[in-house]
Structure 1
Amino acid sequence: MLTRRADFLAANRGLRVSRPGFVLLVNPNSADTMRFGITVTKKIGNAVVRNRMKRRFRELLRAVLPTEGLPASDHVLIGREGGIERDFGQLREELSAALARAREGKGDKRRPRGAGPRK
C-alpha cells in the first residue's frame, strides 16, 4: 500500500484514466511489486462519507488488482463525488475497463492547472 506523499506525486506523473466514480492513476515503480493507494478529498463529504468511500475502494482494489492490475506499477484511486452512490458491481466494471485502458497505454488528457470543475 502507498503511504508516502512522494509515491502519490510520482503516480500523478503517470497514466490517468477517468471514470464517473473515480480517477485511476497508474505509474511504473522501481520495485517489482504491485502497490495501490487511495485518495478522497474533503470536497467529497464529511469524514464518515470519505472513510466509507475509502473502505469500498480498498475492497475493490483487493478484488480486482491481483488479476487485472499492471505488474510492477503503482495504482492510485482518487475518489469523485459520484463514487459513493455507485453500485459496487458498477465500480468493479469501471475499474476493469480503466485498467484495460491503462494496459493499452491509453490515458485521458490532463486538465489545465487551475481549471475548475466542468459544467
Structure 2
Amino acid sequence: MRRGEEFAAAIKRGKRAGRPTLVVHLGTAGEETPLVGFVVSKAVGDAVTRNKVKRRLRHLMRDRLHRLPRGSLLVVRANPPAASAGYEHLAAELDLALDRVLRRRESSMDGHR
C-alpha cells in the first residue's frame, strides 16, 4: 500500500485492534488482493531502528497475508515499544491483533446479512 487515500480509508473507516507494540487497522476496498501498509514514526527510534522494525513487520506479514480477505486494506502501525521487542514477541503481538481485528470484521459483517 502506497497511496495516502488507502491508508486513510483503512484507518478512518476500518476496524482497529491494538497491542503494546503495534496497532492494526483493517478496512476494505473492492475485491483486489489484500494491500498492507506500515507506519513507523520517529517516536519508534532513529532511522536504523525504524527500518529494522519495518523489515520485521513486512517479513511477518508475508506469512500472514493468506488470512486477509480479498479487498482488505491493512495498516500496521508500530508503537515505540516495537523498537526493543524481539522478533518472536512482535510476531505474537501481530497475531493477537490480527485475530482480534478479523473477528471484529466478521462480527460486523454478520450484522449486515
Partner of 1:29 in structure 2?
Answer: 29
| TM-score normalised by length of structure 1 | 0.79
In structure 2, the gaps of 5 or more residues are: 106-113
Separation in 1, partners of 2:87, 2:69:
21
Partner of 1:84 in structure 2?
Answer: 83
Separation in 1, partners of 2:61, 2:43:
22
Q: Does 1:19 align with 2:19?
A: yes
Q: Does 1:10 align with 2:5?
A: no
Separation in 1, partners of 2:16, 2:87:
21
Residue identity over aligned pairs, in percent, reads 32
Whether the aligned pair in 2 keeps the contact of 1:26 and 1:102 (CA below 8 Å) is yes
Partner of 2:109 in structure 1?
Answer: none
Cα distance, 1:71 vs structure 2: 3.2
**What does residue range 1-119 of structure 1 map to in structure 2 within 5 Å?**
2-13=1-12, 14-66=14-66, 68-105=67-104
Cα distance, 1:19 vs structure 2: 0.7
Whether the aligned pair in 2 keeps the contact of 1:11 and 1:74 (CA below 8 Å) is yes
Cα distance, 1:70 vs structure 2: 3.4
* Secondary structure of the structure 1 residue equivalent to 2:50: helix
**11-20 or 84-93, which deviates more:** 84-93
Whether the aligned pair in 1 keeps the contact of 2:44 and 2:82 (CA below 8 Å) is no
More helix by share: 2
Runs of 4+ with deviation above 3 angstroms = none
| TM-score normalised by length of structure 2 | 0.83
In structure 1, the gaps of 5 or more residues are: 107-119
Residues matched between the structures, number: 104
* Secondary structure of the structure 1 residue equivalent to 2:43: coil
Root-mean-square deviation (CA, aligned residues, Å) is: 1.5
**5-14 or 90-99, which deviates more:** 90-99
